[in-house]
Every structure is written in C-alpha cells, then in structure tokens.
Structure 1
Amino acid sequence: MIKAAKTGSPRLNPADPGQVKAFAWPVWPVLYMAVLFGLSSIPGQVPDQDPEGLAASFAWVPPTVQNGLHLPAYGLLGWLWFRGLLRHLPLGAALAAGISLTVGYGILDEWHQAFVPGRFPSATDGLANALGAGMAAGLFGWRHGRPNP
C-alpha cells in the first residue's frame, strides 16, 4: 500500500518491490515504442540509389514480409500495455485502453514515416498495426478472462 506523506499526497517507498513494480510498468511499452520509432526512422530505398548504412541491412527483406511484421510488432506492444494496465484497470478497460494506445502510436508512427527519406505512411500498415493489437487483445482477454482451474 502507498503511504501518504504528511502533505496528504501518495509517496513511493523504494524499499517495497510491489510499489516499484506497480509504478514502473509503463517503462516496458515506452521502451518498446522507442525501438519501433528507431526502426521506422531507418531510411527506405530511394529510387535510383543503392541503400546505405543500416538501410542496407533491411533491403533484403521483401516488402510483403516487412508489412507482415507489423502484426507481431504491434501485437507485442499491445500485450505490454495490457499487462501493465491490468494492474490498475478491469480487464475490459485495460484491453480498450491498450488497443487505443497501441493504435494511436501506430498512427503517429505512420505519420512520422512521411518525414523519413524513402519511407511513406501507409493505411495498410496502419490497418496491420490495429489488427496486431486486436489479435493480441483477443489472446490476452482469453488468457486472463477465464477462471483458473
């Protein structure tokens, strides 16, 4: 339980691992969002130019495979949000909030790609992001919504 300070505001007790864990959960989805941002910041192939640097590392991956990777990538992001939010919200609310955060981030990331050379925003990618989050929500809800035997 969080102890109230003399001013009446809640205070985190670093010696209590349960309290630290309860407040530290957003670190994981935010760190993962930073990884996704970094990956989407890699320049794409500009026509009539050979890919350079980090972009050359991903040039061999066909576009259909790259598009398919949105499902597990955003499914994992959704799962991280669901897992943390379930500590503070009922299952349905945690799933709704997690889907909203994941899809919202996916939309922002697609917009961000409009400013990366050789990349462009794609409604198909946005749909794949939402589908990945939705599939993860279904699996998470099934796993956590059933009674324990």
Structure 2
Amino acid sequence: MLKILAIAPAYRLGITLVFVGVVIALSIAPGIERPGDSIFGWLIFNTATPIQKAMHIVVYATLAVLWMWTLDPIESRVTRIVLTLSLTVGLGAVLEWHQTRVPGRFGTVADVVLNLIGAIAGLIAALILL
C-alpha cells in the first residue's frame, strides 16, 4: 500500500474539495466567449472536442482517486467504494444537468457516461495504488 503521502484527513478533504471546486468552475463557465473572459472560458473555447471528451475521463478518474484517498479512514472498503462512486458520478451528473441551463453550454448523457468511465478507472487505480 502506498501510504507515503499519509496526510491528516482534514488535508485530504481540503485537497479533494479544492479539486471539486475547480471541476465545478470549469463546468459552469458560460459557453459564449466574451472579451476579458477568465482562463476557464479560454480553456473551453480553445480545446478541441475530442480532448474535452478525454478530459472527462481524466478529471473524473482523478476525482475518484482523491475521494478514495480522502475516505481512507473509513474501514469498510465497500462503503468507501459506494461513497466514492456516488460522490464522483453524482457530481458529474448534476454538473451535466446544470450545463443545460448555462448559455452556450449543453449537458449530454454521453458526457455522464464518460464521467462514469473515468470514475470507475480512478476507483480501480485507487484500489491498486492506495
């Protein structure tokens, strides 16, 4: 088990929540480019669609690893897995739904599936590495 980076659970939660905040900020940025837009707007408009789709997998895999790391003090492995998948996939589904209400953005079931694939990949990685 890789416990080299064993940090206090409060730090783990803080790191995970900062990452969640970045995911939310990137997901709710309007899709209409305007002068003076933030870096998030620039990233959205200047990233090719296949890369954006691949990033769903990478981002949600990372999020799943972070949640497994954060929830490590929970003794039940099944509980950690269920919580990790619920938090990760739940966030992805809610953000995709929210994007249907953001100007210039749209949420899709395909993106939710990509988020799920990423969450499962991250969960497997966490089970192997942590």
Whether the TM-score (by the shorter chain) exceeds 0.5 is yes
1:87 corresponds to 2:73: yes
Equivalent residue for 2:27, pick from 1, 18, 40: 40
Distance 2:113 2:65 in 1: 17
- Other-structure match for 1:131: 117
Distance 1:66 1:101 in 2: 21
Larger gyration radius, structure 1 or structure 2: 1
1:29 corresponds to 2:16: yes
Which protein has the bigger helix share? 2
Over the matched positions of the two proteins, sequence identity in percent amounts to 26
- Contact persistence 2:27–2:99 (CA under 8 A): yes
Distance 2:23 2:42 in 1: 18
Aligned residues: 121
Deviation string, structure 1 residues 77-116 (Cα, Å, up to 9, x no partner) = 1111100111123333212211111001111111111121
TM-score when scaled to structure 2? 0.82
Over the aligned positions, Cα root-mean-square deviation in angstroms equals 2.0
- Other-structure match for 1:60: 46
Distance 1:25 1:142 in 2: 19
- Contact persistence 1:107–1:126 (CA under 8 A): yes
Higher relative contact order (CA 8 A, sep 6+): 2
Q: CA deviation at 1:23?
A: 4.1
- Give runs of ≥4 in structure 1 deviating > 4 Å: none
- Contact persistence 2:97–2:107 (CA under 8 A): yes
Distance 2:124 2:13 in 1: 21
